[in-house]
Structure 1
Amino acid sequence: MRHRRRQRRSNSRIVKGNGPLLTANEKFHFASALRRSMLRTMFSLNPSCAYPHLRGSAAICRWLAVAFLLAFAVMARGSTPNLDDLSNDTLGRWLSVMPENGVILDIDEARRMQAMGAFQAATSTVPKFGIGAPPLWVHLQVNNTARITTERRLQLEVSWLDRIDVYHLHGHELLERWRAGDREPNLQHPLPGLGYVFDLLLPPGVNDLYLRIETLDPLLVPLRLLDELSAETLQRQYDYGYGLFYGFLLALIAYNAMLCVGLRERGYLDYVLYLGSFLLLHVAYSGHGYSSLWPQHSLAQQYVFPLLMLAFGCSGLRFASGFLELRLHAPNTHRIIHALMALAIFGITLATAAGRQQHAVLVAFLFVLAFSLAKVWIGVSTVQHGRDAGWYFLSAAVAAMAGVATTALAVWHGLPYSAPAFHAAGWGIVIEGILFALALAYRMRQYQQARQQAEALARIDPLTGLLNRRAFIEQAMPLWNNARRNDRPLAVLMTDIDHFKEVNDTYGHAVGDEVLTAISRLLADACRGSDVAARWGGEEN
């Protein structure tokens, strides 16, 4: 009877660890089977224990078995982490999760489900459940071994979650509850760059934290439990990182905007729009937008991500088309990317108008991934056509694609989530911006060389290689004025080829051109460095 009562009491407890959850009932049966197996093994290995007259040895074997089982039980209970032993990394290995199955649960029902073993151990450091996942319950149990209440910061580093309910229990007592999210303006807002932050007071003993998370955007749980010093250090790192990143982007936008105003080229305007849309997108998904720019517009917060992702992709494709002049050099590619843009605009606009946030987000993620691949494809195609600017564009496109795809797949599906992966898109765009700045500088050099070449051709006679009349006047006039002002001698020698028309008529214009070229070469060779040789005109002059 005592054994049955102990077994019934143990059924309400869950043993958590890195593997699947075990109820205490399962632990009891497992321990019993392990004890029987070990005792059989020990008796078979020690024949003396099988004889009644060697009861002392048998007792020693039994005591060893009991000691082993006690150690096993201690190890099982030790799966609840001590508060001081937790690192500053994400807590996925200590979490157990349970998606709701179409029925909204309150905290009492969630605790009963947890006692029944419905929660499963998380399989990664940051559990991810994709776009449009059902509401998720998360359980974290920590043991405060100190004798005093300890302060900790619970940090959920995602800013786009619709609704978060956090429950702090000590034993059966509910100590505190928080409501956060971006579905309603009166809910707790995220902190810029940090996500949702909850300050805890953990009394001595075992503390249970339950979170109910609901969103139609990508659902992931990058959860940390930090002390004051670690929280301040992490916040300082994020502040410096965001300051450096936003400062670079704003400087790049200002630089290209000034070039656009000064040179009046559409390519610079397209690049400004491209960088500006990504800057707004980054401000939105890092939490700076909802916490500072539109804190009272929860409806806008629901659709700002897909709309800004659409603007980012479309402006990037428009810039690529103009920068590489695809309309002239690759008309089929130009039509394909415009069809891709039109399809994305139609899909996201339709989903937004219908109030289908989940579908709008899904289309936006697919479009951004397609946009990243399309840029690389455009760069490869341009390089294959032998255009020098294609190498700059291809290098920049590969950097941006790697960053954007890494962030999208880390947040959605395909890659494990981490802080570097989450910020990869931003730094990929930074590298892309540097390479595009080099590409635009290369184009400027090409324009300057073309202009200088055109100016040189406009001043030189194409047949003889001498200066033409216009260039001669420009260079000779300062010499003439200087000679008059300083009363210095100046000589002008004009050479005329008599009867040159007869040469053309008799031997043809090709021979006449050779005569002009030969005489011009003789004159140029006879000139000193300060002399000016030019072709004034034809025989009629």
Structure 2
Amino acid sequence: MPGSLSLVLNLSRLWAWLACVMALQAQAQLISLPSSGIALARLEILADAAPGLTLEQVQSGQGGQFMPHTSLRVSNTTWHRAVWLRIHLAALPSALSPQAPPAPPAFAPAILALPTPYLDAARLYTPGAQKDAPWSVQQAGDFLEPHTWAQRGFHPKFSLPPLNDPAWQGSRELVVYLQLDHFAPVSFDVELANAAQALDRDLLSLLIYSIGLGMILLAAMLTASMAWTHRDPIYAWYSVYAICAALGCASHAGIAQNVLWPVGGYWPGTAALCFILLCALCQVQFSLAVNSERFARHGLRYFAHAISLLCLLLAICFAIFTAYWQAFYFATLPLLASAMALSIWLIVIGLKSGHRLAAAWLVSYVPLFLTIVVALLEGIGILPSGYWPYNLVIYLAIVEVLILGLALQWFSSERHGEVERRKALATVDPLTGFVSGQAFDKQLAHDWNISRRQGRPLAVAYVQLQTRANSDQHLQQLLTRSVRILRSATSAQDVVARLDGSLLAVLIHDVPTGDDLNQRLSRIVALGLMPDASDRLVSVLQYRIVVTTNRQFNKPVQELDAQMRAMLAEPSGWGSKPIRYIDHTQQSRINPYVLDSIALEEKWDAAFQQESRGAAQNDSSLR
């Protein structure tokens, strides 16, 4: 109950925090942001230009003629070519009056943004303060290190001269040039906004990405711990898949280049492809792990391994040989299509086989698959851009990974609940309910080593039922009665096991050798000697007990079982006392490794009388 209450409280705090964030965001939207006083008047484009043109050559017309462009979306459909834009900015009527221009008001700075990922290099040219002054250049893009960008952010952004800047020279219109050098065909939007709006959008995107990626990494850590606990490849592959998906989303959003690898070149543009290939690999292996019993020896399994190996090799090529990404890109398209189609096929097979996990998996994965395919086709110009926002892939990936993680948690109770039940049945004796002999041996070896390292006392007692049984049914009755006796005489931390037949074993923790241990063992004997009216054939139970401790037994623990059984099998040397000790630290007349029973006679008599009185009081409860 306290754990459930804590979970409810933590979830309540999370929802309260999210509600506060949404309220602040709504309040920010209601506040009217100051205008920049600048509008986009006209747009002219010089497409399919040579990549090495300078601004002077473009202005003189050597690279070609600018053509009017009526849309804010610009497309370049050729490879290894550049795009130039001549952008005409105009002052709003409220900003400058034609009669008597007042003092320049406090307008917000204007921003020219290109909210599109994977732009190689973009440069904005703005005129100087004087007519013949050199033009100022701002640059941004994946080929440049983030600290050299005109403005730090997820995508290229450039500052425009404010209305009070000398570049306007008292005019209503200002012409700036935008150069985009991009290796592959590309489509991008041109947006004009003030700095406050751009910052507001970046912060909102960062908040959404941070929450989503944080939840993905949390799910990855939880499933990694479950994979280690259960030794289950399903959770291991999901954990790797979630980490690769988080890195792929961070690369696609532009977060990775600013935080994880602040470098320029080809890698910022190819990192997402590398992680998409690794995600496809993990998806295929995850699918095989879910259907492992069905495809144990099947040709489809080898085909899936081959696809996974190719995905791994191609991802390594993207990471190492980044300059040849174009060749790898065209190899990626059919390979990804094959891997994703194979994953969907395996999902459908799992769904037909009755896997509950497959239903949630199919619902979340198919939309993501279609979105990734369209995004890849847009990236090389096969499909025109603009079907949906570029960050839709990120949102769908976050939703898919989280839904799959939740489905894994539901699947865990079904999958590992049965496994744990089988393990419990394998480690428990069905007749007595005690630990089985095999499980006791493992527990003994584990506790024996730990107790010796920590210097804590540990005693091992073998309890042999000496009372003869007339039949198997009678033996079960005697063992049932012995179960009640041992449960009454041992504590909760002691381990009780049935080794075989009528031989029981007790692992006693933190009980020092001497009176305390003697009292524990004598209690077992005393309770057995108490008459039981429910058993008409045998009124009392007689036991023989051999006991040793980790301080008295100085041989390997593997030899303990043989010595304990050999001691129980000796017909002589027991005398009148049913308890014998194995002590390698002392010598005795009876056995060089066994304490003489006569030496324990005084302590035994006192302990036996005390336990007999206590057992008489609890006789009714034992029945």
The question of a shared fold, defined as TM-score above 0.5 by the shorter chain, is answered with yes
Return the match for 1:140 from 87, 95, 105: 87
Cα deviations by residue, 1:139-160 (Å, 9 ceiling, x for unpaired): 3222113233852012222353
1:395–1:435 CA contact under 8 A, matched in 2: no
Are the structure 2 counterparts of residues 134 and 115 from structure 1 closer, same or farther at C-alpha, using a change threshold of 3 Å?
closer
Cα deviations by residue, 1:66-89 (Å, 9 ceiling, x for unpaired): xxxxxxxxxxxxxxxx97585xxx
Are the structure 2 counterparts of residues 492 and 108 from structure 1 closer, same or farther at C-alpha, using a change threshold of 3 Å?
farther
Match of 1:383 in 2: 351
Within 2, Cα distance between the matches of 1:468 and 1:131?
Answer: 89
1:98–1:120 CA contact under 8 A, matched in 2: no
Match of 1:168 in 2: 126
Q: Letter of the 2:58 partner, please give it.
A: A
Correspondence 1:77-96 to 2 at 5 A: 84=37, 95-96=43-44
Are the structure 2 counterparts of residues 456 and 187 from structure 1 closer, same or farther at C-alpha, using a change threshold of 3 Å?
closer
Are the structure 2 counterparts of residues 410 and 277 from structure 1 closer, same or farther at C-alpha, using a change threshold of 3 Å?
same
1:160–1:181 CA contact under 8 A, matched in 2: yes
Within 2, Cα distance between the matches of 1:121 and 1:276?
Answer: 43
Within 2, Cα distance between the matches of 1:166 and 1:153?
Answer: 11
Q: What is the CA distance between 1:459 and its match in structure 2?
A: 6.3
Within 2, Cα distance between the matches of 1:490 and 1:442?
Answer: 51
Match of 2:414 in 1: 445
* Structure 2 residue 192 is the aligned partner of structure 1 residue 244: no
Correspondence 1:407-486 to 2 at 5 A: 407-409=375-377, 411=379, 413-414=382-383, 416-417=385-386, 420-452=389-421, 455=424, 476-480=481-485, 482=488
Q: Return 471-480 or 313-322, whichever deviates more.
A: 471-480
1:305–1:361 CA contact under 8 A, matched in 2: no
Correspondence 1:77-476 to 2 at 5 A: 84=37, 95-102=43-50, 104-113=52-61, 117-121=65-69, 125-129=72-76, 132=79, 134-145=81-92, 146-147=95-96, 148=104, 151-169=109-127, 176-185=136-145, 188-189=148-149, 194-203=154-163, 205-216=172-183, 219-296=186-263, 298=265, 300-301=267-268, 303-325=270-292, 328=295, 331-345=298-312, 353=321, 355-405=323-373, 407-409=375-377, 411=379, 413-414=382-383, 416-417=385-386, 420-452=389-421, 455=424, 476=481
Within 2, Cα distance between the matches of 1:262 and 1:208?
Answer: 65
SS at match of 2:119: coil
* Structure 2 residue 501 is the aligned partner of structure 1 residue 491: no
Within 1, Cα distance between the matches of 2:412 and 2:276?
Answer: 29
2:120–2:141 CA contact under 8 A, matched in 1: yes
Are the structure 2 counterparts of residues 383 and 159 from structure 1 closer, same or farther at C-alpha, using a change threshold of 3 Å?
closer
2:215–2:402 CA contact under 8 A, matched in 1: no
Q: Letter of the 1:491 partner, please give it.
A: S
Are the structure 2 counterparts of residues 275 and 218 from structure 1 closer, same or farther at C-alpha, using a change threshold of 3 Å?
farther
1:127–1:220 CA contact under 8 A, matched in 2: yes
Give the structure-1-normalised TM-score.
0.62
Structure 2: tracts of 5 or more residues without a match: 1-34, 97-103, 164-170, 432-471, 490-525, 538-620
Match of 2:511 in 1: none
Within 2, Cα distance between the matches of 1:470 and 1:377?
Answer: 57
Q: What is the CA distance between 1:216 and its match in structure 2?
A: 2.6
SS at match of 2:183: coil
CA RMSD of aligned residues (A): 4.4
Cα deviations by residue, 1:505-530 (Å, 9 ceiling, x for unpaired): xxxxxxxxxxxxxxxxxxxxxxxxx9
Q: What is the CA distance between 1:350 and its match in structure 2?
A: 6.2
Match of 1:76 in 2: none
Are the structure 2 counterparts of residues 223 and 469 from structure 1 closer, same or farther at C-alpha, using a change threshold of 3 Å?
farther
Within 2, Cα distance between the matches of 1:312 and 1:469?
Answer: 62
Within 2, Cα distance between the matches of 1:172 and 1:329?
Answer: 77
Q: What is the CA distance between 1:273 and its match in structure 2?
A: 1.5
Cα deviations by residue, 1:221-267 (Å, 9 ceiling, x for unpaired): 23322113312321221121122112111211111122123223232
Are the structure 2 counterparts of residues 131 and 331 from structure 1 closer, same or farther at C-alpha, using a change threshold of 3 Å?
farther
SS at match of 2:262: coil
Q: Letter of the 1:400 partner, please give it.
A: L
Are the structure 2 counterparts of residues 345 and 451 from structure 1 closer, same or farther at C-alpha, using a change threshold of 3 Å?
closer
Structure 1: tracts of 5 or more residues without a match: 1-81, 462-466, 495-529, 533-541
Are the structure 2 counterparts of residues 215 and 126 from structure 1 closer, same or farther at C-alpha, using a change threshold of 3 Å?
same
Q: Return 434-443 or 138-147, whichever deviates more.
A: 434-443
Q: Letter of the 1:404 partner, please give it.
A: I
SS at match of 1:294: coil
SS at match of 1:433: helix
Cα deviations by residue, 1:314-347 (Å, 9 ceiling, x for unpaired): 2332222223327735723323333333444555
Q: What is the CA distance between 1:278 and its match in structure 2?
A: 1.9
Q: Return 306-315 or 129-138, whichever deviates more.
A: 129-138
Cα deviations by residue, 1:26-76 (Å, 9 ceiling, x for unpaired): xxxxxxxxxxxxxxxxxxxxxxxxxxxxxxxxxxxxxxxxxxxxxxxxxxx
Are the structure 2 counterparts of residues 493 and 94 from structure 1 closer, same or farther at C-alpha, using a change threshold of 3 Å?
farther
Give the structure-2-normalised TM-score.
0.55
1:389–1:439 CA contact under 8 A, matched in 2: yes
SS at match of 2:203: helix
Q: What is the CA distance between 1:200 and its match in structure 2?
A: 1.7
Within 2, Cα distance between the matches of 1:454 and 1:397?
Answer: 34
Are the structure 2 counterparts of residues 222 and 485 from structure 1 closer, same or farther at C-alpha, using a change threshold of 3 Å?
farther
Cα deviations by residue, 1:69-117 (Å, 9 ceiling, x for unpaired): xxxxxxxxxxxxx97585xxxx8x9644332344632223323449975
Q: Letter of the 1:106 partner, please give it.
A: T
The count of aligned residue pairs is: 406
SS at match of 2:161: strand
Within 2, Cα distance between the matches of 1:154 and 1:201?
Answer: 11
Q: What is the CA distance between 1:382 and its match in structure 2?
A: 2.5
Within 2, Cα distance between the matches of 1:438 and 1:476?
Answer: 46
Within 2, Cα distance between the matches of 1:354 and 1:281?
Answer: 16
Q: Return 256-265 or 442-451, whichever deviates more.
A: 442-451
Cα deviations by residue, 1:338-397 (Å, 9 ceiling, x for unpaired): 333344455566676483222233433554444333322221132234444433432342
2:485–2:622 CA contact under 8 A, matched in 1: no
Q: Return 329-338 or 272-281, whichever deviates more.
A: 329-338
Within 1, Cα distance between the matches of 2:76 and 2:271?
Answer: 21
Cα deviations by residue, 1:262-292 (Å, 9 ceiling, x for unpaired): 2232322222221112222222232222223
Cα deviations by residue, 1:419-448 (Å, 9 ceiling, x for unpaired): 744233343343333234323531442321
Are the structure 2 counterparts of residues 277 and 453 from structure 1 closer, same or farther at C-alpha, using a change threshold of 3 Å?
closer
